[in-house]
């Protein structure tokens, strides 16, 4: 069975500090990977997607970057946090090339920027 | 432009009754997929049910079913025999076939369901 693990569970960071969030997918080779962001009480918005190692596409510009250093790992980062980065970050995966396939979400990381 | 609208901010029902949540969508694609997810209090997002635009039959999974009205661009979620554990935020989402590998889901704002004993 496939599992998705996100870390950390929660972070409290200062404005201007760096950030690194990660997720790992086990039990599934070559998944499509995604980062979503949810403002408190808000909807989910896709930030990045990746279909293969080393290839990441940005969907919205939020002064964040993402990388996929390994087939099963997806990293979200920034060098300087903004207050607007606060929210809930969700990593997700799906089977490749199955357009009607559901997304499998991780448990998320709650980020508070102070 | 792609858009998903959930007009009901919150709904409260009594346990064991049936609830319907509304969702309308906008798309230029002739083929698309519609999903319902729920977000529990812990933040976990759980897939519930999917409707493919080319299918006329309404999807049903367990006590979840859909009311797909394509001419009205509407995809309502029906939960029968509600349970306390169904209390959550329910999101309607759409993916266009044209989205390809982006996997991009357009989510609505969500409807909070509270099931009372």
Q: Is the pLDDT of residue B31 over 80?
A: yes
Task: Kindly report whether the peptide bond that precedes residue A8 is cis, defined as omega within 30 degrees of 0.
Answer: yes
Contact (Cβ atoms closer than 8 angstroms) between residue A111 and residue A87? yes
Mind listing the pLDDT tens digit for each residue in B67-95?
999 999 999 999 999 999 999 999 999 99
The answer to whether the CB atoms of A46 and B35 lie below 8 A apart is no
pLDDT at A99: 67
Q: How far is CA B104 from the centre of its chain?
A: 16
- Chain A residue at shortest CA distance from B44: A107
Name the residue among B43, B50, B101 with its Cβ closest to that of A108.
B43
Of the pLDDT bands very low, low, confident and very high (cuts 50, 70, 90), residue A97 is low
Question: How far apart are alpha carbons B27 and B36 in whole angstroms?
Answer: 17
CA dist list (Å): A50 to A37, A68, B82, B101, B110: 16, 7, 38, 8, 26
- Chain B residue at shortest CA distance from A94: B103
Name the residue among A42, A46, A51 with its Cβ closest to that of B101.
A51
CA dist list (Å): B81 to A17, A68, A110, B62: 48, 43, 33, 11
Q: What would the mean pLDDT of B57-67 be, rounded to a whole number?
A: 96
Question: How far apart are alpha carbons B5 and A103 in whole angstroms?
Answer: 20
With pLDDT > 70 as the criterion, what percentage of chain A qualifies? 97
Residue B102 backbone class (left: φ over 0; alpha: ψ -120 to 50; beta: rest): alpha
Name the residue among A42, A46, A104 with its Cβ closest to that of B105.
A46
| Closest chain B C-alpha to A65 CA, distance in angstroms | 16
Q: What would the mean pLDDT of A44-60 be, rounded to a whole number?
A: 93
């Amino acid at each position: 069975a496939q599992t998705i693990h996100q870390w950390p569970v929660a972070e409290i960071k200062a404005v201007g500090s760096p950030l690194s969030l990660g997720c790992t997918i086990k039990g599934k080779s070559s998944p499509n990977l995604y980062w979503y962001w949810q403002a408190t009480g808000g909807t989910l918005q896709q930030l990045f997607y990746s279909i293969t190692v080393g290839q990441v596409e940005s969907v919205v510009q939020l002064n964040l970057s993402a990388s996929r250093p390994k087939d099963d790992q997806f990293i979200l980062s920034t060098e300087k946090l903004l207050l607007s980065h606060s929210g809930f970050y969700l990593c997700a995966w799906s089977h490749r090339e199955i357009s009607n396939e559901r997304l499998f979400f991780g448990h998320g990381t709650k980020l508070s920027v102070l | 432009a792609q858009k998903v609208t959930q007009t009901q901010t919150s709904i409260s029902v009594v346990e064991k009754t049936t609830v319907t949540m509304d969702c309308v969508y906008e798309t230029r694609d002739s083929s698309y997929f519609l999903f319902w997810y729920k977000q529990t209090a812990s933040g976990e997002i759980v897939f519930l049910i999917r409707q493919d635009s080319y299918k006329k039959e309404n999807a049903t999974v367990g006590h979840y079913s859909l009311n797909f009205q394509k001419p009205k661009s509407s995809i309502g979620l029906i939960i029968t025999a509600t349970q306390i554990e169904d209390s959550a935020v329910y999101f309607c989402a759409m993916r266009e076939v044209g989205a390809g590998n982006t996997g991009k889901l357009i989510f609505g704002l969500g409807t909070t369901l509270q099931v009372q004993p």
